[in-house]
């Protein structure tokens, strides 16, 4: 329970700092010649902004064809070598997870909550006098829920709902004394930890995905309202467009990553597979 309160404390501090920066950023983006009257009747419509911005960007949807001859030369690896290589990677992943779990959790929590609250606050301050359509509101709401879910996922990582009761510190000490491959002595425990490590990786992917989506929305808003650093926002819009072309895709894929991370981290998936 102490871990939960500590994580919540870090999340609250990060959120306060992020919100403070989020209030400052719109002032830096504001043009000196900008009038507040511009935003009163300004409408921010997700589909309309995409149509308008695509007129100024080059469509890079073409795919480059790769020569398949070069791939045929690297197919001499045997199944045994591939299995051994995968096993080594899995052992390294579990050992790194055991050794740096606390540091990884702290970095994920503080970094994500700080940047999410910064950009969410920035978006709110900029658009509070504008009409914002349902699609943009849904994306911002989804990111708010993602921010709230981070401490919960990290708590479940340290306190799984189900699965084996594992003394991670003792396992780490044994691995450091006897070598990393001693982790393989108990296959069930090793598999449980491997699932958790994979869950953390998926969690980072989920958080990165939501950050990219939020940056895309911010670029749309700033381009529409003609804020400063237009070239930078235009570049961000182009680079993040593939992740946020559709609100349905964004929320569906984000929810899929969130649920997948929950199943891995909480120990539920490990229990279902081993039972």
Q: 210-269: per-residue pLDDT in tens? A: 999 999 888 888 887 777 777 888 888 888 888 888 889 999 999 999 999 999 998 888
User: What pLDDT is recorded for position 206?
Assistant: 94
Task: Tell whether the model's pLDDT for residue 67 goes beyond 50.
Answer: no
User: What pLDDT is recorded for position 203?
Assistant: 93
Q: Are 185 and 260 in contact (CB under 8 A)?
A: no
- On average, the pLDDT of the chain sits at 80
Q: 197-206: per-residue pLDDT in tens? A: 999 999 999 9
User: What pLDDT is recorded for position 31?
Assistant: 63
Task: Tell whether the model's pLDDT for residue 9 goes beyond 70.
Answer: yes
CA 6/CA 10 separation, integer angstroms: 6
Q: Are 93 and 194 in contact (CB under 8 A)?
A: yes
Of 220, 206, 219, the residue nearest 253 (C-alpha): 206
CA 100/CA 96 separation, integer angstroms: 6
- Among 82-86, 119-123, 225-229, which stretch is predicted with the lowest mean pLDDT? 225-229
Tell me what the mean pLDDT of segment 116-122 comes to: 88
Q: 39-65: per-residue pLDDT in tens? A: 445 667 777 777 766 655 544 334 344
pTM of the model: 0.81
User: What pLDDT is recorded for position 262?
Assistant: 93
């Amino acid at each position: 329970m102490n871990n939960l309160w500590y994580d919540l404390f870090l999340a609250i501090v990060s959120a306060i700092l992020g919100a403070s920066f989020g209030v400052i950023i719109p002032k830096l983006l504001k043009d000196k010649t900008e009038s507040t009257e511009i935003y009163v009747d300004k409408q921010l419509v997700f589909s309309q902004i995409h149509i308008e911005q695509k007129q100024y960007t080059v469509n890079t949807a073409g795919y480059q064809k790769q020569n398949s001859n070069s791939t045929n030369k690297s197919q001499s690896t045997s199944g045994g070598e591939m299995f051994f290589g995968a096993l080594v990677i899995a052992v390294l992943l579990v050992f790194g997870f055991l050794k740096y779990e606390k540091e990884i959790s702290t970095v994920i929590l503080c970094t994500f909550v700080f940047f999410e609250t910064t950009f969410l606050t920035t978006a709110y301050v900029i658009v509070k006098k504008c009409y914002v359509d349902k699609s943009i509101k849904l994306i911002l709401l989804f990111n708010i829920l993602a921010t709230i879910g981070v401490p919960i996922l990290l708590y479940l990582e340290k306190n799984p709902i189900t699965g084996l009761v594992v003394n991670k510190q003792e396992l780490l000490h044994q691995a450091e004394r006897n070598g990393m491959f001693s982790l393989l002595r108990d296959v069930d425990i090793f598999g449980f930890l491997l699932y958790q490590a994979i869950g953390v990786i998926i969690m980072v992917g989920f958080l990165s995905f939501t950050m990219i989506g939020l940056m895309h929305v911010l670029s749309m808003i700033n381009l529409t309202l003609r804020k400063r650093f237009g070239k930078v926002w235009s570049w961000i819009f182009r680079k993040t467009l593939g992740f946020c072309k559709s609100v349905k895709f964004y929320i569906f894929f984000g929810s899929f990553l969130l649920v997948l991370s929950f199943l891995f981290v909480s120990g539920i998936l490990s229990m279902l597979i081993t039972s």
